Each structure stands twice: as C-alpha cells, then as structure tokens.
Amino acid sequence: MIRWTRSLRISSGKYMPPAMQWAKEITEFANKKYKIQMSVYIDTFGEYGTLRWFADYEDLAAFEKVMNQVMTDQEYWQKVAQASDFIMQGSVNDKVMHSI
C-alpha cells in the first residue's frame, strides 16, 4: 500500500473560507475524474491554516499512473491556478509513503 499526502499553507486568515471551499472542490474533482479516494483535512492544532490531502494506492505503478494523468490535465491546472492568491509561496509539500 502506498500513501500520498500533500500539504500547503493558506497565506492569510482572510483567505480561509475560499481556500477551504477550493480544497473541497479540487478534491471532489480529482476523486471523480481519476476514480480515487482522496480526502482533505485542515489542521486543528499545530500549523494554523494548513490543508492536507491524503490518497492511498495499491502500489507505486497505480500512483504513477494517476500522477502522469494529472501532470498533463489542463483542467486540473486551471483549478490549481484559482488558488494562487491564497497558497503561501513555497509551502506545498508532497510525500509518498509505503506501509510496513
């Protein structure tokens, strides 16, 4: 089992409502288009304003297949561009883990 996670920081508290709405919308988009089960969370404690996505894949090949589709998906990149005002520059962090 492979788990992918992405985190990013919202640049200002004034952007919290639109950032959370965007996070839900892009999650729903990805789940529907790529037939995955991704979820999104926001930190309650710790780094205020941090959004975190999680998705599990059977193996690295399944993960790579989805990532290759995403990287060339213009509709996805248009949705990402909508968040440019409220994503803190340099805060996006991806991790890939495997179960033990």
**Residues 76-88: pLDDT tens digits?**
999 999 999 899 9
Q: How far apart are CA 46 and CA 50, in angstroms?
A: 9
CATH architecture, domain 2-98: 2-Layer Sandwich (3.30)
Q: Which of 62, 53, 57 is nearest to 83 (CA)?
A: 53
Domain coordinates in residue numbering, the chain? 2-98
Q: Are 24 and 40 in contact (CB under 8 A)?
A: yes
**pLDDT cut 70: percent of the chain above it:** 100
pLDDT in tens, 1-21: 999 999 999 998 778 999 999
Distance, CA of 71 to CA of 78 (rounded, Å): 12
Report the Cα 73 to chain-centroid distance in Å.
15
